Amino acid sequence: MGSASSFRGSPRPRAAAWAPGVSRRRLLRCGTAGAASVLAAGPLTGCASPARAGEPSSLSVWDLFQGGDGLLMDEMIAAVSRGPDGFDVERTILDWGPSYYTKLAMSAAGGRASDVAVLHLSRLAGYAPGGLLDPFDLDLLAEFGVTERDFAPAVWQRTRHRGTVYAIPLDVHPFIVFYDRGAADRAGLLDAGGELAPMGSPEAFLDAGRALAGATGHAGVLFGHVTDTAQSWRQFAALYAQTGAAFTLPDGGPPQIDTDAAVEVVTFMQRLFDGRTNPNNLDYNGAMAAFMDGRGGMVMLGEWELPTLRASGIDLGAAPFPQVFGRPAVYTDSHSFVLPHQDDPDPARRREAHRYVARIVKESLTWAGAGHIPAYRPVLDRPEYRALAPQSSYAAAGEAAVLDPPNWFAGAGSNFQNRMCQPLQSALLGNTSAEKAVRQMIREADSLLRRPNPVA
């Protein structure tokens, strides 16, 4: 919930400016949305005003980084707060997930949100069209040394809505594989450089799973998906994109999906997690625990688990998600900075917000410590980043990034991902066939598409 630091701001001079502009609609919105969020998250979330006049450098920032990520973000904020042109940042950390996105939407709908917030790039389509975000001024960013050329095209193209840029990516955080170097070596899966050799085909991956199972004496590839609302979808989306087929969600439906390719992918997932070589009934924590216990040679996870896995003392290797179909593709998302909508933004503050975003993305070498791939490419080229192991071994994942199909209901922590995971779980557990699972995924996507679009 809201951290104590959010109370450090100046008093709220905007309270007076409120009255003249109160329309019935705004009153309703602040009354209902605001009341709910005030009840849920303390007095400064819903309709709180950002610190303003008299303290032009105090920026309010919302993010969802807890644990190790949160500490690294503290470090980066401390770095940009030093010196004469340092920032005075009021940071509010909120719990990640659907609740974060609800609060962000409410604060922006109230029109007086924080100056800068973090948004998963996959959620942009649910925020930019509804007017919940304000666009970035690219000239202003260029003035502070950040331009389009500094980002991977696969990621940058998702920062735009109708040609306007609404988000500046901080990182790319792909779904990858971690492996036990010892087991992979015994299974003969490493190349001359000691890195995981490319797989190249579904059969090769199945063989690799069997070889790893032989090497560990337990399981080959671990994957925790039971009762998880994202994992199966991440895996499916990566493999499906590798077939070269597209999955799009046009408004009004029906979803565009290559059924044959989808069935092929789900069938492959069923073969891979057959319950013998690789267990098919693990949940997220179970898979983590099994890998850290040495009961599996490889585990499919987000790179953000790097600090946890490293703490276990395993000789840890990491690689982009193995390419087994036609072309390289890695399921990914990106923590990005956005400017939540403010009804009456102060130009000087907006300028500071741009300068802040530019400064922070340049600090993202620190951010790479948690395993994330910095989105700002000049950082990737620095020798310090290249020396980071195993982070640099999957940096290429950013170039083959595949995000959720853009639509208002899709993206990180969304109901869409949850609904896609349900049939996939049934298929992996052997309760349903690949064909039926794919049919249900299409049905679920279609029913979401048929709903009236609340952000259009």
Partner 1 sequence: MTTTVPAGAAAPAPPEPSPPAPPRRRPARGAGNGGLFVLPFLTLFGLFLVWPVVQGLWMSLTDASLTLRETRFVGFANYAEAFGDPDVWSSLGNTFFFTAISSVPLVLIALAMALLVHSGLAGQWVWRLAYFAPYLLPVTVVTLIWTWLYQPDLGFGNQLLGALGMEPVGWLSDESVAMWSVAALTVWWTVGFNFLLYLAALQSLPATYDEAAALDGAGAWRRLWSVTLPQLRRTTALVAMLQVLASLKVFDQIYILTKGGPNGSTRPILEYVYDVGFTGYRLGYASAVSYVFFAIVIVVSVAQLRLFRQED
What is residue 118's DSSP assignment? E
Comparison of 279 and 390: residue with beta carbon closer to partner 1: 279
CA dihedral of 272, 273, 278, 282, whole degrees rounded to 10: 150
The residues in 431-450 that bind partner 1, with binding defined as CB under 8 A, are 431, 440, 447
Rounded Cα distance, 171 and 336, in Å: 7
Tally of CB atoms within 10 A around 304: 18
State yes or no: residue 426 binds partner 1 (CB under 8 A): yes
If residue 398 lies in a helix (H) or strand (E), which one and from where to where?
none
Going by C-alpha positions, the residue among 68, 420, 86 that lies closest to residue 235 is 420
State yes or no: residue 415 binds partner 1 (CB under 8 A): yes
Interacting residue with partner 1 among 56, 68, 130, 214 (CB under 8 A): 130
Going by C-alpha positions, the residue among 162, 92, 166, 102 that lies closest to residue 337 is 166
First to last CA, the chain: 30
Minimum distance of partner 1 from residue 448's CB (angstroms): 9
Rounded Cα distance, 374 and 395, in Å: 9
The residues in 310-369 that bind partner 1, with binding defined as CB under 8 A, are 341
Minimum distance of partner 1 from residue 384's CB (angstroms): 39
Binding mask of the shown chain, residues 162 to 181, with x at each position contacting partner 1 by CB under 8 A: --------------------
DSSP characters over 188-230 = T-B-TTSSBPP--SHHHHHHHHHHHHHHHSSEEEE---BT-SS
Interacting residue with partner 1 among 101, 136, 325, 376 (CB under 8 A): 101
Comparison of 190 and 429: residue with beta carbon closer to partner 1: 429
Comparison of 74 and 283: residue with beta carbon closer to partner 1: 283
With contact defined as beta carbons under 8 Å apart, do 61 and 70 qualify? no
Interacting residue with partner 1 among 237, 263, 425, 438 (CB under 8 A): 425
Binding mask of the shown chain, residues 17 to 46, with x at each position contacting partner 1 by CB under 8 A: --------x--x--xxx-x-----------
Query: Which part of the chain contacts partner 1 (CB under 8 A), choosing from 44-52, 87-95, 150-158, 279-287?
Result: 279-287
If residue 4 lies in a helix (H) or strand (E), which one and from where to where?
none
If residue 183 lies in a helix (H) or strand (E), which one and from where to where?
helix 181-186
Phi, psi of 221 (to 5 degrees): -105, 130
State yes or no: residue 227 binds partner 1 (CB under 8 A): yes
Minimum distance of partner 1 from residue 341's CB (angstroms): 7
State yes or no: residue 285 binds partner 1 (CB under 8 A): yes
Interacting residue with partner 1 among 64, 109, 167, 353 (CB under 8 A): 109
Minimum distance of partner 1 from residue 446's CB (angstroms): 13
State yes or no: residue 427 binds partner 1 (CB under 8 A): no
State yes or no: residue 423 binds partner 1 (CB under 8 A): yes
Tokens of 273: 């997690």
Phi, psi of 53 (to 5 degrees): -20, 140
Distances (CA, A) of 196 to 137, 177, 223, 224, 305: 42, 10, 18, 21, 19
Tell me the residue type at 245.
A
Rounded Cα distance, 68 and 369, in Å: 9
Minimum distance of partner 1 from residue 282's CB (angstroms): 5
State yes or no: residue 229 binds partner 1 (CB under 8 A): yes
Query: Which part of the chain contacts partner 1 (CB under 8 A), choosing from 86-94, 104-112, 145-153, 306-314?
Result: 104-112
State yes or no: residue 281 binds partner 1 (CB under 8 A): yes
The footprint of partner 1 (CB under 8 A) covers 25, 28, 31-33, 35, 98-99, 101-102, 105-106, 108-109, 111, 126, 130-132, 226-227, 229, 279, 281-283, 285-286, 289-290, 341, 408-409, 414-415, 418, 421-423, 425-426, 429, 431, 440, 447, 451-452, 454-456
